[in-house]
Amino acid sequence: MLTSAFSFTRLRAQFIKEVLSVLRDPRSRMVVFVPPILQLLVFAFAATLEVRNVDIAVYDQDAGRWSHELV
């Protein structure tokens, strides 16, 4: 019986092994969890959805009465 070089079971086992290894070490935990939390805090105050002082243009190719009224 031929076995493929790639196995989801082996991949899953390796993934679990690595996750447990990271969670066991306090330094690794800090490296994994602290930067995303800091990014959430910093970007929450740095980014805003408010748009101010933006010039816009509309190019009306139809040149009809309805499109002119809409624009």
* pTM reported for the whole predicted model: 0.46
How far is the C-alpha of 21 from the C-alpha of 34, rounded, in Å? 17
What local confidence, expressed as pLDDT, does residue 2 receive? Answer: 53
Q: What is the mean pLDDT of each run of 10 residues along the chain (71 residues)?
A: 76 95 91 93 84 88 87 81
List the domain boundaries for the chain.
1-49
The dihedral formed by the CA atoms of 21, 24, 28 and 31, expressed in degrees to the nearest 10: 110
